[in-house]
Protein backbone atom coordinates (compact mmCIF):
# COMPACT_ATOMS: atom_id res chain seq x y z
CA UNK A 1 0.00 0.00 0.00
CA UNK A 2 2.83 2.32 0.87
CA UNK A 3 4.68 1.48 -2.34
CA UNK A 4 1.70 2.21 -4.57
CA UNK A 5 0.83 5.42 -2.76
CA UNK A 6 4.44 6.56 -2.97
CA UNK A 7 4.61 5.76 -6.67
CA UNK A 8 1.57 7.91 -7.41
CA UNK A 9 2.65 10.70 -5.07
CA UNK A 10 6.17 10.84 -6.47
CA UNK A 11 4.83 11.14 -10.01
CA UNK A 12 2.37 13.91 -9.08
CA UNK A 13 -0.75 11.79 -9.52
CA UNK A 14 -3.85 12.72 -7.58
CA UNK A 15 -5.58 9.80 -5.83
CA UNK A 16 -9.36 10.18 -6.00
CA UNK A 17 -10.39 6.78 -4.67
CA UNK A 18 -8.59 3.92 -2.97
CA UNK A 19 -9.85 0.63 -1.58
CA UNK A 20 -8.03 -2.21 0.06
CA UNK A 21 -8.94 -5.67 1.19
CA UNK A 22 -6.91 -8.26 3.05
CA UNK A 23 -7.87 -11.89 2.82
CA UNK A 24 -6.29 -13.12 6.03
CA UNK A 25 -6.92 -16.81 5.35
CA UNK A 26 -5.14 -16.67 2.02
CA UNK A 27 -2.62 -14.06 3.03
CA UNK A 28 -3.54 -11.91 0.04
CA UNK A 29 -3.79 -8.14 -0.20
CA UNK A 30 -6.03 -6.50 -2.81
CA UNK A 31 -6.08 -2.86 -3.80
CA UNK A 32 -7.87 -0.62 -6.26
CA UNK A 33 -6.57 2.90 -6.70
CA UNK A 34 -8.10 5.51 -8.96
CA UNK A 35 -6.02 8.57 -9.68
CA UNK A 36 -5.96 11.61 -11.97
CA UNK A 37 -3.25 12.00 -14.58
CA UNK A 38 -3.58 15.80 -15.01
CA UNK A 39 -0.02 16.58 -13.91
CA UNK A 40 1.33 13.04 -14.02
CA UNK A 41 5.03 12.88 -14.80
CA UNK A 42 4.78 9.70 -16.86
CA UNK A 43 3.09 9.23 -20.22
CA UNK A 44 0.69 6.36 -20.85
CA UNK A 45 3.52 4.71 -22.74
CA UNK A 46 5.84 4.95 -19.75
CA UNK A 47 3.39 3.83 -17.08
CA UNK A 48 3.50 0.02 -17.53
CA UNK A 49 7.28 -0.26 -17.22
CA UNK A 50 7.38 2.12 -14.26
CA UNK A 51 4.56 0.23 -12.53
CA UNK A 52 6.31 -3.10 -13.12
CA UNK A 53 9.52 -1.74 -11.62
CA UNK A 54 7.67 -0.65 -8.49
CA UNK A 55 5.50 -3.75 -8.23
CA UNK A 56 7.88 -6.59 -9.02
CA UNK A 57 9.87 -6.55 -5.76
CA UNK A 58 6.58 -7.15 -3.86
CA UNK A 59 5.33 -9.87 -6.22
CA UNK A 60 2.27 -7.76 -7.01
CA UNK A 61 -0.06 -8.63 -9.86
CA UNK A 62 -1.44 -5.46 -11.34
CA UNK A 63 -3.35 -4.01 -14.25
CA UNK A 64 -4.04 -0.46 -15.30
CA UNK A 65 -6.95 0.94 -17.23
CA UNK A 66 -7.83 4.45 -18.44
CA UNK A 67 -11.36 5.64 -17.77
CA UNK A 68 -11.55 7.44 -21.12
CA UNK A 69 -11.01 4.19 -23.02
CA UNK A 70 -14.51 2.81 -23.39
CA UNK A 71 -14.87 -0.95 -23.55
CA UNK A 72 -16.87 -2.61 -26.33
CA UNK A 73 -19.90 -4.55 -25.16
CA UNK A 74 -22.25 -7.12 -26.72
CA UNK A 75 -25.63 -8.22 -25.37
CA UNK A 76 -27.05 -11.70 -26.04
CA UNK A 77 -30.80 -12.12 -25.50
CA UNK A 78 -33.53 -14.65 -26.15
CA UNK A 79 -37.27 -14.01 -26.22
CA UNK A 80 -37.74 -12.06 -22.99
CA UNK A 81 -37.11 -8.36 -23.58
CA UNK A 82 -36.95 -6.75 -20.13
CA UNK A 83 -33.19 -6.87 -19.42
CA UNK A 84 -32.35 -5.98 -23.01
CA UNK A 85 -34.76 -3.03 -23.10
CA UNK A 86 -33.50 -1.83 -19.74
CA UNK A 87 -29.87 -1.89 -20.89
CA UNK A 88 -30.74 -0.11 -24.15
CA UNK A 89 -32.53 2.57 -22.12
CA UNK A 90 -29.58 3.03 -19.79
CA UNK A 91 -27.06 3.41 -22.60
CA UNK A 92 -29.46 5.78 -24.33
CA UNK A 93 -29.65 7.83 -21.13
CA UNK A 94 -25.86 7.84 -20.75
CA UNK A 95 -26.03 5.93 -17.46
CA UNK A 96 -23.55 3.16 -18.30
CA UNK A 97 -19.87 3.36 -19.21
CA UNK A 98 -18.69 1.32 -22.19
CA UNK A 99 -20.13 1.18 -25.69
CA UNK A 100 -22.84 -1.22 -26.82
CA UNK A 101 -21.67 -2.42 -30.24
CA UNK A 102 -24.08 -5.24 -31.02
CA UNK A 103 -27.01 -7.32 -29.87
CA UNK A 104 -27.35 -10.97 -30.90
CA UNK A 105 -30.28 -13.28 -30.29
CA UNK A 106 -31.54 -16.72 -31.20
CA UNK A 107 -34.90 -15.04 -31.85
CA UNK A 108 -35.81 -12.39 -34.39
CA UNK A 109 -38.22 -10.62 -32.03
CA UNK A 110 -36.14 -7.64 -30.96
CA UNK A 111 -34.69 -6.65 -34.36
CA UNK A 112 -36.93 -3.63 -34.79
CA UNK A 113 -36.61 -2.37 -31.24
CA UNK A 114 -32.82 -2.67 -31.16
CA UNK A 115 -32.61 -1.08 -34.58
CA UNK A 116 -34.54 1.92 -33.24
CA UNK A 117 -31.73 2.50 -30.79
CA UNK A 118 -29.22 2.46 -33.65
CA UNK A 119 -27.53 -0.76 -32.52
CA UNK A 120 -26.85 -3.65 -34.98
CA UNK A 121 -29.02 -6.70 -34.35
CA UNK A 122 -27.88 -10.17 -35.33
CA UNK A 123 -30.45 -12.92 -35.47
CA UNK A 124 -28.65 -16.23 -34.94
CA UNK A 125 -31.18 -19.06 -34.59
CA UNK A 126 -30.08 -22.25 -32.93
CA UNK A 127 -31.28 -25.85 -32.61
CA UNK A 128 -29.66 -28.68 -30.65
CA UNK A 129 -28.16 -29.88 -33.94
CA UNK A 130 -26.71 -26.48 -34.93
CA UNK A 131 -25.42 -25.36 -31.57
CA UNK A 132 -21.70 -25.72 -32.30
CA UNK A 133 -22.02 -23.87 -35.61
CA UNK A 134 -24.14 -21.12 -34.13
CA UNK A 135 -21.64 -20.60 -31.29
CA UNK A 136 -18.80 -20.47 -33.80
CA UNK A 137 -20.70 -17.79 -35.70
CA UNK A 138 -21.31 -15.83 -32.50
CA UNK A 139 -17.63 -16.01 -31.56
CA UNK A 140 -16.64 -14.69 -35.00
CA UNK A 141 -19.15 -11.88 -34.62
CA UNK A 142 -17.81 -10.90 -31.20
CA UNK A 143 -14.20 -11.12 -32.38
CA UNK A 144 -14.82 -8.97 -35.46
CA UNK A 145 -16.54 -6.35 -33.35
CA UNK A 146 -13.69 -6.36 -30.83
CA UNK A 147 -16.07 -7.15 -27.97
CA UNK A 148 -14.55 -7.13 -24.48
CA UNK A 149 -17.64 -7.83 -22.39
CA UNK A 150 -20.56 -10.14 -23.18
CA UNK A 151 -23.82 -9.65 -21.28
CA UNK A 152 -26.26 -12.56 -21.16
CA UNK A 153 -29.51 -10.62 -20.76
CA UNK A 154 -31.72 -13.65 -20.08
CA UNK A 155 -30.06 -15.55 -22.94
CA UNK A 156 -31.61 -19.00 -22.48
CA UNK A 157 -29.02 -21.09 -24.33
CA UNK A 158 -26.30 -22.88 -22.38
CA UNK A 159 -22.92 -21.81 -23.73
CA UNK A 160 -20.20 -24.40 -24.27
CA UNK A 161 -17.04 -24.46 -22.21
CA UNK A 162 -15.09 -23.48 -25.29
CA UNK A 163 -17.16 -20.33 -25.72
CA UNK A 164 -16.87 -19.35 -22.08
CA UNK A 165 -13.11 -19.90 -22.02
CA UNK A 166 -12.71 -17.24 -24.67
CA UNK A 167 -14.05 -14.58 -22.30
CA UNK A 168 -12.70 -15.35 -18.83
CA UNK A 169 -14.39 -13.10 -16.23
CA UNK A 170 -15.89 -11.18 -19.13
CA UNK A 171 -19.29 -12.83 -19.58
CA UNK A 172 -21.93 -11.58 -17.12
CA UNK A 173 -25.06 -13.68 -16.71
CA UNK A 174 -28.24 -12.85 -14.79
CA UNK A 175 -29.83 -15.82 -13.07
CA UNK A 176 -33.41 -15.38 -11.88
CA UNK A 177 -32.95 -16.73 -8.38
CA UNK A 178 -30.97 -16.06 -5.25
CA UNK A 179 -28.12 -18.48 -6.04
CA UNK A 180 -27.24 -21.09 -4.89
CA UNK A 181 -30.97 -21.61 -4.30
CA UNK A 182 -32.84 -22.74 -7.42
CA UNK A 183 -29.94 -23.10 -9.81
CA UNK A 184 -30.74 -24.63 -13.20
CA UNK A 185 -33.97 -24.15 -15.11
CA UNK A 186 -37.31 -22.66 -14.04
CA UNK A 187 -36.31 -21.09 -10.76
CA UNK A 188 -39.64 -19.27 -10.31
CA UNK A 189 -41.51 -22.56 -10.63
CA UNK A 190 -39.21 -24.11 -8.04
CA UNK A 191 -39.49 -21.08 -5.75
CA UNK A 192 -43.28 -21.26 -5.92
CA UNK A 193 -43.24 -24.97 -5.18
CA UNK A 194 -41.01 -24.44 -2.14
CA UNK A 195 -43.15 -21.62 -0.80
CA UNK A 196 -40.37 -19.10 -0.22
CA UNK A 197 -41.25 -15.64 1.12
CA UNK A 198 -38.57 -13.82 -0.89
CA UNK A 199 -37.36 -14.26 -4.45
CA UNK A 200 -33.99 -13.17 -5.75
CA UNK A 201 -31.77 -12.48 -8.71
CA UNK A 202 -28.03 -13.05 -9.09
CA UNK A 203 -25.57 -11.52 -11.55
CA UNK A 204 -22.42 -13.62 -11.91
CA UNK A 205 -19.57 -14.32 -14.28
CA UNK A 206 -20.28 -17.31 -16.49
CA UNK A 207 -17.96 -20.25 -15.96
CA UNK A 208 -17.94 -23.77 -17.36
CA UNK A 209 -20.04 -24.96 -14.43
CA UNK A 210 -23.58 -23.71 -14.88
CA UNK A 211 -24.74 -21.16 -12.25
CA UNK A 212 -21.53 -21.66 -10.25
CA UNK A 213 -19.54 -18.63 -11.40
CA UNK A 214 -18.32 -15.82 -9.13
CA UNK A 215 -21.26 -13.73 -7.87
CA UNK A 216 -21.07 -9.99 -8.58
CA UNK A 217 -24.41 -8.77 -7.22
CA UNK A 218 -27.64 -10.15 -5.74
CA UNK A 219 -30.88 -8.80 -4.43
CA UNK A 220 -34.21 -10.10 -3.12
CA UNK A 221 -37.84 -8.98 -3.06
CA UNK A 222 -40.72 -9.99 -0.81
CA UNK A 223 -43.47 -12.25 -2.15
CA UNK A 224 -46.41 -14.01 -0.51
CA UNK A 225 -48.74 -16.98 -0.88
CA UNK A 226 -50.87 -14.79 -3.14
CA UNK A 227 -48.20 -14.69 -5.82
CA UNK A 228 -48.45 -17.41 -8.44
CA UNK A 229 -45.57 -18.33 -10.74
CA UNK A 230 -46.40 -15.52 -13.17
CA UNK A 231 -46.45 -13.00 -10.31
CA UNK A 232 -43.04 -14.20 -9.17
CA UNK A 233 -41.78 -13.80 -12.75
CA UNK A 234 -43.24 -10.27 -12.91
CA UNK A 235 -41.81 -9.20 -9.56
CA UNK A 236 -38.55 -10.92 -10.48
CA UNK A 237 -38.16 -8.98 -13.73
CA UNK A 238 -37.56 -5.76 -11.81
CA UNK A 239 -34.95 -7.50 -9.70
CA UNK A 240 -33.25 -9.02 -12.73
CA UNK A 241 -32.94 -5.75 -14.65
CA UNK A 242 -31.65 -3.77 -11.68
CA UNK A 243 -29.22 -6.45 -10.47
CA UNK A 244 -27.83 -7.02 -13.96
CA UNK A 245 -27.45 -3.30 -14.61
CA UNK A 246 -25.62 -2.82 -11.32
CA UNK A 247 -23.24 -5.69 -12.12
CA UNK A 248 -22.54 -4.34 -15.60
CA UNK A 249 -21.82 -0.91 -14.20
CA UNK A 250 -19.48 -2.31 -11.53
CA UNK A 251 -17.61 -4.38 -14.11
CA UNK A 252 -17.25 -1.52 -16.59
CA UNK A 253 -16.03 0.76 -13.79
CA UNK A 254 -13.34 -1.85 -12.97
CA UNK A 255 -14.69 -2.31 -9.49
CA UNK A 256 -14.85 -6.11 -9.58
CA UNK A 257 -11.83 -8.31 -8.88
CA UNK A 258 -12.30 -12.02 -9.47
CA UNK A 259 -10.41 -14.13 -6.99
CA UNK A 260 -10.84 -17.89 -7.02
CA UNK A 261 -14.55 -18.44 -7.50
CA UNK A 262 -15.52 -15.30 -5.64
CA UNK A 263 -15.45 -11.56 -6.30
CA UNK A 264 -14.17 -8.56 -4.45
CA UNK A 265 -16.42 -5.63 -5.28
CA UNK A 266 -14.97 -2.20 -4.53
CA UNK A 267 -18.34 -0.45 -4.84
Minimum CB–partner distance for residue 77 and its own copies (Å): 12
Q: What is the DSSP string of 5-32?
A: HHHHHHTT-EEEEEEEEEETTTTEEEEE
26 vs 21: CA distance, rounded Å: 12
Q: How far apart are CA 72 and CA 154, in angstroms?
A: 20
* CB nearer its own copies, residue 31 or residue 160: 31
- Classify the phi-psi angles of 76: left when phi > 0, otherwise alpha if psi is within -120 to 50, otherwise beta: beta
Residue 60 CB, shortest distance to its own copies, in Å, is 14
Binding site for its own copies (CB under 8 A): 1-2, 5-6, 8-9, 15-22, 24-25, 80-82, 85-86, 89, 92-93, 95, 113, 116-117, 178-182, 194-198, 200, 214-220, 222, 224-226, 228, 234, 237-238, 242, 245, 261-265, 267
Q: Is 38 helix (H, G, I), strand (E, B) or coil?
A: coil
Q: Name the residue nearer to its own copies (CB basis): 39 or 144.
A: 39
Nearest distance from residue 127's CB to its own copies, in Å? Answer: 26
User: Is-catalytic flag, 23?
Assistant: no
Q: For 46-66, b where at least 16 C-beta lie within 10 A, e where not — what string?
A: ebeeebeebeeeeeeeeeeee
> Of the residues 39, 68, 86, 211, which is catalytic?
211
Distance, in Å, from the CA atom of 68 to the CA atom of 70, rounded to the nearest integer, reads: 6
Q: Of 127 and 224, which has the nearer Cβ to its own copies?
A: 224
To its own copies, the closest distance from the beta carbon of 179 in angstroms equals 7
Catalytic residue numbers? 211
Amino acid sequence: MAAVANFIYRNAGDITEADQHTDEEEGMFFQRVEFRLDDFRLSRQQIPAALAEMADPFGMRWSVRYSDEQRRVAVLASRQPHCLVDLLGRWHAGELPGRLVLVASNHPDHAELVGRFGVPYHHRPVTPATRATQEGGLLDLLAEAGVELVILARYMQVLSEGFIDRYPSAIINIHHSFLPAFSGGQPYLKAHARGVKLIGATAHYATAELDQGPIIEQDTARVSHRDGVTDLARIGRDLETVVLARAVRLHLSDRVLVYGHKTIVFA
